[in-house]
Amino acid sequence: MEQRDIQSPGGSHRDVHDHARLRHARDRHNGFPVGQYLQAPPMLFSRDAHNVFLGDMYRGNAAFLICGGPSLRDHDLSLLQQRGILSLAVNNAAAVVRPTLWTSVDDPGNFTDSIWRDPGILKFVPLCHMEKTFRIRDAAGKLVPSTDRVGDMPAVFGFRRNENFVPDQWLYEDTFNWGNHSELVDSAGNKGSRSVFYVALRLLFYLGVRKVFLIGCDFRMADGKRNYAFDQDRSRSAVSNNNETFHILNVRLEQLKPHFDKAGFKVFNCTPESGLKVFPALRYEDALAQSCRVIPPIKTEGMYEFNQQMKDVAKAKTKAKPKTDGGQKQSLPPDLVAEPSSVLVPSLLGTTLITFLDSSAAPKLRVSLPVWKKHQSWLADLDMLIVHDSTWDPATQMGDLAKYSKTVRTIRIEVGQEEDRILRRSHAVLSAIACEVRTPWCTYIDPGVMCGGPNCTPVNDWFMPDSKGRNPVLVAHRWGYSKPSDSLALLDDWADQLPGLKSYPRLNVPSRTEDGCVRHAAIQTWLMFIQTDWARQLLKDVPDRLPCASLATFLAYCGSRRGDNVVRVNLKKHGWQPVSCLNDLRRQASLLLGS
């Protein structure tokens, strides 16, 4: 009896046309607009074409997109390795700096095997590359094909591409567009032209990233010059072709920019003198400050004992009797507890003491700290974070500051030119709070603030919920006016441009008064208790400089517009007093220290 050739439904005998259909769907050149209400389409795949859903995996995060231009080596790339930084590199840029993510579209043999073999890099490649080999070097250093295939390597995901650039649907197609097929002409009249840059941006958007910082994005080449951050020569024709690709990319990205803005997808170019002109420029240092803010410093002490400590505190509260001091209430709020040493410290999780130092402020802090330690010992039990500019050097000027605080950390910032120095400095302090503070509260104190007596201790009423049940987000000294007279009106106009604030009603503070000031319920900068998560939320929508010089006025404005619980306290009645002159500060310190 004649035997039939029975093919198994899978393995090497599966129908090649079904296999191709899975990879290319309708047409390999076109993307399909998925629509608002359609189920999310499969976008990423395993080697065997199983769907792998990673959509929104990094939702709300910022990321660096690392290109291979020669300017890449002008940056301190070691900063990209710190905790909290997400990065995606294209092509052999990953040979210069190790990224979190990596993507390519060209033949796998173009890229070093150190990328392919690295299990710590998530790799995204065209699905059809899974069964291709890459290149390795033999004992003589010659490039030869590998015995391994791309699909054998760790952490590799495949994607499907399309080759028909349609700006209106580009962000929401079911495949990744990487430009145009050589026979297709786009709406701007450009024929062909493809690039991994399209896939990199689309991939980051799919993964949930909504703020992208470009580095190594030179977007220009020159014959006979170094055109990459890694070792690689290019012929004259290759240089010409790449420059044409850069030109078309500028045109197409200009078409995509309105759709990026509508989707809240922000792209900033941190490459000095870049040939890409579509996206706004941003300094590399400022991009780093905005990127790493979600990761607080690591401190594990007390974490295993926390639940037991909370039980002990609750038990102690039930046994404690209320105490009074001359009729004035001195009990602590829920955020403030007494440790066994009876030192008043903000909560078991605590607060972080933060201040700003430059060459003029550092001498004041040296005078103030001994007074703080003597009259407010709870301050000495806090972690201290010093934000400073280049005029103050912690290596030579730190001195004995450490003995006045539990731990002392320093962060150096660049504050720009003189005309916007204060605006950038205030933003840098806000960034430090968001990036570096691990505690639920931080206490900002100006170096020139003097305190004396027990009344300086924070009291219960400051931290209690208001009549609407809202917990406080900011506690600071009250102040009744601002200059110039239109300062808060300008803040209203500024906030109308921000997604995080424009949905709240304007304050509509009068823009003019007879004495040139505007009367309002703002606050002063010299002492504030700031809820850290709240500050972190505000920073997401703030550019690299604040719209006003006073950080406290800015915070109070944002809290008022959002309807948050901003607590205004007359801190002078509680023993806190700002002193501007260094000699006056020394005289007051001598009196308070008894020397």
Residue-level pLDDT at 216: 96
Q: Is the pLDDT of residue 340 over 60?
A: no
64/191 same-domain check: yes
Within this chain, do residues 225 and 353 fall inside the same structural domain, yes or no? no
User: Residue 79: which domain range?
Assistant: 44-291
Instruction: Output the CA–CA distances (angstroms, integers) from residue 181 to 26, 173, 191, 193, 513, in the order listed.
Output: 16, 17, 8, 7, 64
Lowest-confidence segment of 230-244, 486-500, 514-528 by average pLDDT:
514-528
Residue with the bigger pLDDT between 593 and 254: it is 254
Q: How far is CA 171 from the centre of its chain?
A: 22
Structure tokens, 510? 């009068």
391 has pLDDT over 80: no
* CA-based nearest residue to 556, from 510, 487, 503: 487
pLDDT in tens, 187-199: 999 999 999 999 9
User: Of the ranges 91-100, 369-378, 384-393, which is most confident?
Assistant: 91-100
* Longest distance between any two alpha carbons in the chain, whole Å: 115
pLDDT at 122: 98
Is 311's pLDDT higher than 50? yes
User: Does 303 reside within a domain?
Assistant: no
Domain co-membership, 151 together with 252 = yes
Tell me, what's the pLDDT at 121?
Answer: 97
What average pLDDT does this structure show over 117-140?
95
582 lies in a domain? yes
Does residue 557 lie in a domain region?
Answer: no
Q: Domain check: are 271 and 337 in the same one?
A: no
Q: Which two tokens stand for residue 59?
A: 């939702």
Same-domain status, 213 and 82:
yes
pLDDT at 11: 45
Residue 439, pLDDT > 60, answer yes
Residue 60 lies in a domain: yes
Q: Are residues 78 and 176 in the same domain?
A: yes
pLDDT at site 177: 95
- Residue 326: closest CA among 454, 448, 145, 187: 454
Confidence tier at 288 by pLDDT (50, 70, 90)? confident
pLDDT at 82: 87
Residue 305: CB atoms within 10 A of its CB come to 11
Find the CATH number of the domain harbouring 252. 3.90.1480
Structure confidence at residue 590 as a pLDDT band (50, 70, 90): confident
Nearby residues of 392 by Cβ (< 8 Å), 6 or more positions away: 357, 358, 359, 361, 362
Q: Please check whether residue 278 is in contact with residue 214, taking contact to mean a CB–CB distance below 8 angstroms.
A: no
Which of the two residues, 561 and 542, has the higher pLDDT score? 561
pTM over cut 0.85: no
Q: What share of the chain is helix, strand, coil (3-state, %, to 5)?
A: 35, 20, 45
Verify that 287 and 375 share a domain, yes or no: no
CATH number at residue 351: 3.90.550
Tell me the sheet residues that pair with 337.
345
Instruction: Identify the DSSP state of 441.
Output: E
In the beta sheet, which residues pair with residue 450?
Answer: 577
The reply to whether omega before 484 is within 30° of 0 (cis) is yes
- 333 with 232, same domain: the answer is no
Q: Which of 207, 200, 214, 206 is nearest to 171 (CA)?
A: 206
pLDDT at 438: 75
Closest alpha carbon to 32 in 175, 192, 164, 128: 175
Whether residues 66 and 183 fall in one domain = yes
Whether 394 contacts 386, CB under 8 Å = yes
User: What is the per-residue pLDDT across 220-241, written as a single tens digit (0 to 9) for each?
Assistant: 999 989 999 999 999 999 999 9
| The pLDDT of residue 6 | 40
Fill in the DSSP letter of residue 194: B
Give me the residues paired with residue 576 across strands: 451
**pLDDT of 20:** 59
Domain annotation covers residue 181? yes
Which band of pLDDT confidence, cut at 50, 70 and 90, is reported for residue 433? confident
Distances (CA, A) of 568 to 239, 439, 470, 503, 565: 62, 22, 15, 25, 10
Task: Give the mean pLDDT of the chain.
Answer: 78
Spatial contact of 348 and 310, defined as CB atoms under 8 Å apart: yes
Give the model's pLDDT for residue 208: 93
Residue 7 neighbours by CB distance under 10 Å: 11
pLDDT band at 136 (very low <50, low <70, confident <90, very high): very high
**pLDDT for 481:** 57
CA 107 to chain centre: 33
Do residues 287 and 331 both lie within one domain?
no
* DSSP run (H or E) holding 239: helix 236-263
Does the pLDDT of residue 538 top 60, yes or no? yes
What is the per-residue pLDDT for 587?
Answer: 79
What's the rounded mean pLDDT across residues 94-107? 96
Q: In sequence order, what are the beta bridge partners of 562?
A: none
Mean pLDDT of 466-485: 72
* Cα R_g (the chain), whole angstroms: 29
DSSP string, 288-317: HHHHSTT-PPP--TTTTTHHHHHHHHHHHH
Tell whether 360 is covered by a domain: yes
Whether pLDDT at 324 is above 90: no
pLDDT on residue 342 = 31
Q: What is the pLDDT of residue 545?
A: 67
291, 319, 345: which is the final residue of a domain? Answer: 291
DSSP letter at 47 equals T
Which pLDDT band, with edges at 50, 70 and 90, does 424 fall under? low
d(CA 84, CA 556): 28
Residue 319: predicted pLDDT: 61
Contacts of 92 (CB under 8 A, 6+ apart): 68, 110, 111, 112, 115, 228, 230, 232
Instruction: Identify the domain boundary among 241, 270, 291.
Output: 291
Asked if pLDDT for residue 343 goes beyond 60, the answer is no
Give residue 320's pLDDT band: very low, low, confident or very high (50, 70, 90).
Answer: low
Same-domain status, 344 and 424: yes
For residues 143-157, give the mean pLDDT. 96
> Within this chain, do residues 245 and 350 fall inside the same structural domain, yes or no?
no
Q: Show the 3-state SS of 144-166.
A: EEEEEEHHHCCCEEEECEECCCC
Residue 346 pLDDT: 41
- CB-CB contact of 175 with 159 (8 Å): yes
Query: How many whole angstroms separate alpha carbon 67 and alpha carbon 283?
Result: 16
Is residue 298 assigned to a domain? Answer: no
29-38, 334-343, 373-382, 532-541: which range is least confident on average? 334-343
Half-sphere exposure of 78 (CA within 13 A, CB side): 0
Return the amino acid letter for 86.
L
| Residue 405 in this model has a pLDDT that exceeds 90 | no
Exposed (0-12), middle (13-18) or buried (19+): which is 78, by Cβ within 10 Å? exposed
Q: How high is the pLDDT of residue 279?
A: 96
Let me know if residue 153 belongs to a domain. yes
Long-range pairs, 377-381, Cβ under 8 A, ≥24: 377/343, 377/344, 378/343, 378/344, 378/345, 378/346, 378/457, 379/353, 379/405, 379/443, 379/445, 380/404, 380/405, 380/406, 381/339, 381/343, 381/345, 381/406
Cα torsion 299, 303, 309, 310: sign: positive
Q: Give the per-residue pLDDT at 432.
A: 79
Confidence label for 135 from pLDDT (cuts 50, 70 and 90):
very high
Euclidean distance between the first and final Cα of the chain, in Å? Answer: 115
Specify the number of domains making up the chain: 2
Query: Is the pLDDT score of 14 beyond 70?
Result: no
pLDDT at 219: 96
Confidence of residue 4 (pLDDT cuts 50, 70, 90): very low
pLDDT tens sequence across 156-196? 999 999 999 999 999 999 899 999 998 899 999 999 999 99
Which is more confident, 478 or 480?
Answer: 478
DSSP for residue 506: P
Rounded mean pLDDT of 382-399? Answer: 73
